[in-house]
Amino acid sequence: MAKFYEMPAVSPTMETGTIVAWRIAEGAPFAPQSVIAEVGTDKANMEAEIFDKGVMLKHLVAVGDEVPPGFPIAIIGDALGEDVSALVAQFATMSPKKAAPAPKADEALAPAAQAAPAAQAAPAAQAAPAPKVAEPAPSLDRTWRGKVLRTDVLEPHQDLRYRSASAAVPAKGGRIVASPLAKSVAAALGVNLATVTGTGPAGRIVQADVEKASGSAVRTPKVARQDEVLKLTQMRKTIAKRLLASHQDIPTFFLTVTYDMTAFVGFREQLKKHLPDVKVSHNDVFIACVARALREYPKANAAWGEGVITRFGRVDIGVAVAIEDGLITPVLRNADQLRFDEIGAQIRELAGRARSQKLKPEEFTGSTFTISNLGMYDIEQFTAIINPPEAAILAVGSIAEVPVAKDGNVTSGWRMKVTMTCDHRVIDGATGAAFLQVLRRYVEAPMLLLM
């Protein structure tokens, strides 16, 4: 029996889904747990499964259409040839994008029909016929590049032609036929258009003719780049809604510190030297420092709830990753128990699948603390917006070699600025400062991570 297949909620935060691709074509059979379509959600492209056995009778929405969960997207049945007309008619009444009916021909002509009696009310004798204007006969005697041209099509009637006050007039009183650009170029170069021979259609003077007559060329102004209007993706809509709510609802304050990164840079160089086959970045080592500091100081590893504050026993760090449609935060589970190489390998694997929108919901939800690092883009310092319900997020700048004062002398040293955004309902100023001091100990003496 034919029935609707409705858009499933393939993501816990999904409000609408976009059909990215149909995996089962119309008329094709399917087995239980077959993937019927690929659906774009607010975080990733997910696979919509079907748990029945049957045949795909009709797709009701096209690729790129956006519908909410529970809305019909296809008609399925037990066998080919089942009548779907009733369901199609029912779907037409449910469609949120139902087109307005076009006006009928007699309705479109109704205003004219109603106005006709008023026009006929005046006696025929009083209506003097309007004098007819003789239409110029089409001239077919002009050619350009061997083709016969109709000048009545190429050029407007002489009486209606726009005349420029600065346009040159031939000595014999004839009309100059020149393009607007040619006229402006002629005015800029001081060229009398009456002395220029046109090579354009029907003898029209074009820019090249003016430049040739003056012996110089004028660069044509570049056309301005056109505006580009982009349709909002589900991910961008969710980012906008969540971050706006975070900015409006959470009382935040910011704490910025500068860390001495000399030992940190040296530690990573030693890892590269003694473990050349292991890929470890500055970001990997820093995440390990944050994870250890959160384990030692759990007051910063917390979240705000309805009437409660939760201080997490686990350390699950969300790492912000930029993708084409926005931003997503894959989660490193139990980050305080991972080695440097494990952190790096997991981040690369998660980031790769995030950019191809293949993350599962449990891989980008449920973090206890978030890190956003823009140091690789040479950003010295910035502030980040909290990812609720977490109580803090850490914005990491670049590691830079800068002049520093040491023992009364100016020398160079490696420094890095980090800014912690805190939810004041959970973290007070002293609490946030204490966490950054714990983090300083690990960043400035990373050998402690091996203990």
Catalytic residue set:
424
**β-bridge mates for residue 194, sequence order:** none
Nearest-CA neighbor of 372 among 324, 337, 406, 327? Answer: 327
CA dihedral 267, 269, 271, 275 (to 10 degrees): -170
Measure the CA–CA gap between 192 and 213, rounded to whole angstroms: 9
Let me know: does 202 contact 177? Beta carbons within 8 Å. Answer: yes
The Cα angle at residue 58 between residues 68 and 43, in degrees rounded to 5: 30
Q: Which long-range contacts (CB under 8 A, 24 or more apart) does 68-71 make?
A: 68/7, 68/15, 68/16, 68/17, 69/6, 69/7, 69/8, 69/9, 69/14, 69/15, 69/16, 69/17, 70/6, 70/7, 70/9, 71/6, 71/7, 71/96
CA distances from 255 to 395, 423, 433 (A): 10, 11, 7
- The burial class, CB within 10 Å (0-12 / 13-18 / 19+), for 186 is buried
What values do phi and psi take at 437, rounded to 5?
-70, -40
Measure the CA–CA gap between 340 and 271, rounded to whole angstroms: 10
Cα of 190 vs its chain's centroid, Å: 49
